[in-house]
């Protein structure tokens, strides 16, 4: 295990991977997330700056939650991010649906199996014979 200082409070903790925060600060961040989520539910037309100020959270943290798809917004909400590929405004994640589909298709085409031709199977069948060992 690796021992690190918490990014938020500076306390030493066992770093396993992921967030560089101790369990206390991680719990506080989770509580803030729940608070922000409830605020957005109660105030659907609020902007990022207003949400950040009212909940004492940075706008960067809110954008991070949006990119991680922890927060999603309705189409009439003023909150949105630009798709990292084409620049369209999206309400959650890093890419719009069109770009996600395009990426999935591109990755899928990399791993497609080659289809064997029918005559190749026939050749294998013709060569298959029973064999005996000499004593």
pLDDT tens for 45-71 read: 888 999 999 999 999 999 999 999 999
As a whole number of angstroms, the distance between CA 45 and CA 34 comes to 18
Could you tell me the pLDDT band of residue 2, with boundaries at 50, 70 and 90?
confident
The neighbour count for residue 96, using CB atoms within 10 Å, is 20
Query: In this predicted structure, which of 25-39, 52-66, 110-124 has the lowest mean pLDDT?
Result: 110-124
Report field, pTM of the whole predicted structure over 0.85? no
- CA-to-CA separations, 81 to 60, 64, 116, in angstroms, rounded: 12, 11, 45
Residue 90 backbone dihedrals phi, psi, to 5 degrees: -125, 160
Secondary structure element (H or E) that encloses residue 65, with its range: helix 59-67
Q: Give the whole-angstrom CA distance, residue 57 versus residue 53.
A: 7
């Amino acid at each position: 295990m690796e021992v690190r200082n918490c990014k938020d409070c500076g306390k030493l903790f066992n770093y396993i991977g992921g967030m560089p925060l101790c369990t206390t600060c991680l719990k506080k961040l989770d509580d803030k997330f729940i608070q922000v989520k409830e605020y957005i539910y109660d105030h659907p037309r609020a902007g990022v700056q207003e949400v950040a100020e009212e909940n004492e959270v940075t706008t960067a943290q809110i954008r991070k939650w949006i990119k991680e798809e922890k927060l999603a917004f309705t189409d009439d909400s003023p909150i949105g991010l630009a798709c990292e590929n084409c620049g369209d405004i999206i309400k959650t994640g890093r890419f719009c649906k069109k770009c996600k589909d395009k990426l999935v298709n591109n990755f899928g085409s990399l791993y497609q199996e080659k289809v064997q031709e029918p005559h190749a199977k026939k050749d294998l069948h013709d060569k298959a014979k029973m064999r005996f060992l000499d004593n």
